[in-house]
Structure 1
Amino acid sequence: MSRAFLDKVTHFAKGRVAPEAAAWSIGAAPEPALYQEAAALGLLGMELPKARGGQGVDFATRVAACEIMAGADFGFAMSLVNTHNIALRLCEEGQVAAVEQPLAALLSGQMHACTALTEPGTGSDFAAIRTTARQVDGGWLLDGEKSWIINGRQAGLAVVYAQCAEIGDSSGIGAFVVDLTVPGVTRYAIDSAFAQTSLGTGGFHLDGVKLPQEAMISAPGTAFKAILQEINAARTYVAAMCDGMLQAALDSAAAYGAQRLSFGKPLNQIPRWHAEFDAAERALTQARDVTRHAVAQVSQGADAQLAAAEAKIGSVTCAQTHLPRLLQLMGAEGLRPEHPFTRHIAAAQIAGFTDGATNILKDRVARLTARKET
């Protein structure tokens, strides 16, 4: 793990991102310059080889950087890592001549990118996607819609998963690199009662989008397996990001509890206050242990399905449970946007939907555990 790189990430997260994030939770959006600062730091090329403009760090470092960044703002961290993931995919699987220009734009922070799986009627049931890719002379025609996509509202590039055979046939799904600025692509933003500006949540329609033959980055028969492996990695770093948000809330509550007096003594000397704080610390320690196991499984190239699912369930649930309790310890002071509580509470709920909803993941864990025991 690169300690020097992570120290720089910590300085950036606390010094630059956290102060700006207070406004994002009430509707403002990150400035493009901040995204480019992240790029200059290397956050958009963490795992790419140095020879291709990256930092050359390992997966454990990527996870640690995501945890640090999420402590400042979950949405901004997710936006960065999603662009990073596309850059890494292009570097590993794309045809060199075809990807050099977009890769340079991604690594410089000039362009966002996204992975487009989710559709209006399809979430965790990935095999049921209805976006189609039809082979024509010289390439492919894509039709369909993707929704609830991180970076969807501003991405210039996407890896789009589409059905090349019959709907419901997981072996017929392929992955395509799509320039989202071409004719036939119509993008839209998605907002909710939880501010999602730093996530860049959006969607897009694909209406007869013509792609060259080389736009296929994963052929049918390989794309489905590839995305399942990517999802294991994503569930692991989302778990770490929830850990990071809870740690930031603990730090904020600790500082406030040490200086705020109640009935003549600091809040952190009141037994009930102390008990709630300690419970959150213990829960975070347990969640981090499970997350570390998942990191090790992914790093070793092992079958990480169970470990990643357990990590995400554990850390999401931990954050969803203890962030509101820590806010309660803060009282009304914790509602101020300069504190992380309200935006992290919202983000923890969003985290429960990403890369496999918690209720569906619990069923998956039960099946994987039963299979392991037989």
Structure 2
Amino acid sequence: MSFELSKEQEELRKWAHDFAVKEIRPVAAEYDEKEEFPIEVLRKAAKVGLTSYAAPEEYGGAGLTSVMAACLIGEELFWGCAGIATSLSAVGLAGLPIYYMGTEEQKRKWISYLCDPEHPRLGAMALTEPGAGSDVQAIQTRAVRDGDEWVINGRKCFITNGGIADVYVVFAKSDPTGGYHGVSAFVVPGDTPGLSGGKKERKMGIRASHTGDVILEDVRVPHENLLGEENLAFFGAMKMLEYSRPAVAAAAVGVARAAYEYALDYAKQRVQFSRPIIKNQSISHMLADMKTKIDAARLLTWRAAQLADRGESCAVEGSMAKAFAGEMVMDVTTNAVQILGGYGYMRDHPVEKWMRDAKILSIYEGTTQIQKKVIAGGL
């Protein structure tokens, strides 16, 4: 057993970290304040391959398909800025279900389309609805077969890139009485007649990512755009989420690490009562707890990633990593604000932003409570 990264893995981490230092950190506060999509950062990331690295080489990617690679790169990009990192990773959001559920022809067509470095395109996974978040079988969006086409009607909400994506994977009820066995998924180009964007959400954190409604009114797609088997998309989605949850845990580690490093530097420099505040046990013990929790979350994450890369189930381990990391990042960023005191509450310092960004990491890709349900089911 070894906790050391290989030379190649260290190079991956450095590649992503250098990009975060040079291209993300300098503009993070600006994009957060303006709540703008970071299109210029996206173009730069696409040119160096950071938006397509996870796709197989035959589809235009770098072939870094391992979950561990996604975790290492994700930690560094989210260390840079959670909002911008969400936008960059969202390029491949549609590619993920296509990769896990699609035919060879679908993969070659759509993943290649998303991997063009000169023309970065946005993907979106349209699953969540106003009345169906964690409960997938409760979705109301309907897909009805009409000859060689499917007609889709419904509304999706809280969709990353919703309304601006070039390609959507839409989950809809194809058998209203089938429960979990009645959900199908479809590839829907963003310019398909009847598909439109609704309200853009104003969020507490990750403001540099675009989150909005997707409206589907008599949207027609050919039968060849059906992903996987009819009525069985729920199970494909669960397998996809199983492998993506370690990456979300790694994102939480990245945000927490950013806040911890900043608070540590501040505590060494801030002098009160004639000595740096890190000399006070109450402050040094907070930092010790922060460091311990960050390392614990990373090790849980790496274990889940390695299981996935060996082709083994990481359902429980991935949920453990995400549940722990999602709560950990909120604790760490809150304590970072506390260590800075009044300064931490001000926008002149980035810890308040990291605290705002942190909350979503215990919500999206399955809330902490859903992760605990998965863990408990595995007991």
Give, as a single letter, the amino acid of the residue that structure 2 aligns with 1:255: D
Residue 315 of structure 1 deviates from its aligned partner by 0.5
Name the residue aligned to 2:33. Answer: 26
The reply to whether residue 103 of structure 1 matches residue 112 of structure 2 is yes
Name the residue aligned to 2:314. Answer: 304
Check 1:21–1:160 CA distance in 2 against 1; reply closer, same or farther (3 A cut): same
Give the % identical residues: 24
Work out the CA distance in 2 between the residues paired with 1:55 and 1:136: 39
Tell me if the contact between 2:9 and 2:69 (Cα under 8 Å) persists in the aligned partners.
yes
The reply to whether residue 82 of structure 1 matches residue 90 of structure 2 is yes
Task: Report the secondary structure of 2:94's partner residue.
Answer: helix
RMSD: 2.2
The reply to whether residue 62 of structure 1 matches residue 70 of structure 2 is yes
Name the residue aligned to 1:283. Answer: 293
Name the residue aligned to 1:35. Answer: 42
Residue 173 of structure 1 deviates from its aligned partner by 1.3
Work out the CA distance in 2 between the residues paired with 1:352 and 1:52: 32
Check 1:97–1:355 CA distance in 2 against 1; reply closer, same or farther (3 A cut): closer
Work out the CA distance in 1 between the residues paired with 2:262 and 2:199: 32
* Runs of 4+ residues deviating >6 angstroms: none
| More displaced 10-residue stretch of structure 1: 121-130 or 28-37 | 28-37
Correspondence 1:188-203 to 2 at 5 A:
188-203=198-213
Name the residue aligned to 1:73. Answer: 81
Work out the CA distance in 2 between the residues paired with 1:16 and 1:232: 31
Tell me if the contact between 2:36 and 2:209 (Cα under 8 Å) persists in the aligned partners.
no
Of 204, 214, 232, which aligns to 1:204?
214
Task: Report the secondary structure of 1:20's partner residue.
Answer: helix
Work out the CA distance in 1 between the residues paired with 2:203 and 2:233: 34
Check 1:196–1:189 CA distance in 2 against 1; reply closer, same or farther (3 A cut): farther
Tell me if the contact between 1:316 and 1:352 (Cα under 8 Å) persists in the aligned partners.
yes
Task: Report the secondary structure of 2:33's partner residue.
Answer: coil
Tell me if the contact between 2:205 and 2:360 (Cα under 8 Å) persists in the aligned partners.
no
Name the residue aligned to 2:228. Answer: 218
Which consecutive unaligned segments of at least 5 residues does structure 1 have?
370-374
Tell me if the contact between 1:257 and 1:267 (Cα under 8 Å) persists in the aligned partners.
yes
Tell me if the contact between 1:189 and 1:203 (Cα under 8 Å) persists in the aligned partners.
yes
Which consecutive unaligned segments of at least 5 residues does structure 2 have?
1-7
Name the residue aligned to 2:129. Answer: 119
Tell me if the contact between 1:149 and 1:202 (Cα under 8 Å) persists in the aligned partners.
yes
Task: Report the secondary structure of 1:25's partner residue.
Answer: helix
Name the residue aligned to 1:45. Answer: 52
Residue 143 of structure 1 deviates from its aligned partner by 0.6
Residue 298 of structure 1 deviates from its aligned partner by 1.6
Check 1:101–1:280 CA distance in 2 against 1; reply closer, same or farther (3 A cut): closer
The reply to whether residue 326 of structure 1 matches residue 336 of structure 2 is yes
| More displaced 10-residue stretch of structure 1: 110-119 or 93-102 | 93-102
Check 1:365–1:42 CA distance in 2 against 1; reply closer, same or farther (3 A cut): same
Work out the CA distance in 1 between the residues paired with 2:374 and 2:284: 36
Can you list the C-alpha shifts for 1:221-244, whole angstroms capped at 9, x where unaligned? 542221101111222111111111
Residue 338 of structure 1 deviates from its aligned partner by 5.8
Task: Report the secondary structure of 1:310's partner residue.
Answer: helix
Check 1:314–1:228 CA distance in 2 against 1; reply closer, same or farther (3 A cut): same
Name the residue aligned to 1:6. Answer: 13
Check 1:8–1:339 CA distance in 2 against 1; reply closer, same or farther (3 A cut): farther
Give, as a single letter, the amino acid of the residue that structure 1 aligns with 2:335: R
Name the residue aligned to 1:251. Answer: 261
Work out the CA distance in 1 between the residues paired with 2:287 and 2:164: 39
Tell me if the contact between 1:185 and 1:205 (Cα under 8 Å) persists in the aligned partners.
yes
Of 179, 190, 213, which aligns to 1:169?
179
Tell me if the contact between 1:141 and 1:208 (Cα under 8 Å) persists in the aligned partners.
yes
Residue 269 of structure 1 deviates from its aligned partner by 2.0
Work out the CA distance in 2 between the residues paired with 1:215 and 1:337: 46
Tell me if the contact between 1:106 and 1:113 (Cα under 8 Å) persists in the aligned partners.
no
Name the residue aligned to 2:3. Answer: none
Give, as a single letter, the amino acid of the residue that structure 2 aligns with 1:314: F
Residue 177 of structure 1 deviates from its aligned partner by 0.5
Work out the CA distance in 2 between the residues paired with 1:47 and 1:11: 18
Check 1:31–1:193 CA distance in 2 against 1; reply closer, same or farther (3 A cut): closer
Name the residue aligned to 1:16. Answer: 23
Can you list the C-alpha shifts for 1:7-56, whole angstroms capped at 9, x where unaligned? 22111112211221112332331431210111112122122122322111
Name the residue aligned to 1:143. Answer: 153
Check 1:84–1:107 CA distance in 2 against 1; reply closer, same or farther (3 A cut): farther
Residue 106 of structure 1 deviates from its aligned partner by 4.5
The reply to whether residue 238 of structure 1 matches residue 248 of structure 2 is yes
Name the residue aligned to 1:154. Answer: 164
Task: Report the secondary structure of 2:365's partner residue.
Answer: coil
After TM superposition, the score normalised by the length of structure 2 is: 0.90
Work out the CA distance in 2 between the residues paired with 1:294 and 1:20: 32
Work out the CA distance in 2 between the residues paired with 1:98 and 1:327: 45
Check 1:359–1:49 CA distance in 2 against 1; reply closer, same or farther (3 A cut): closer
Q: Give the length in aligned residue pairs.
A: 369
After TM superposition, the score normalised by the length of structure 1 is: 0.91
Work out the CA distance in 2 between the residues paired with 1:8 and 1:291: 20
Work out the CA distance in 1 between the residues paired with 2:178 and 2:365: 19
Name the residue aligned to 1:372. Answer: none
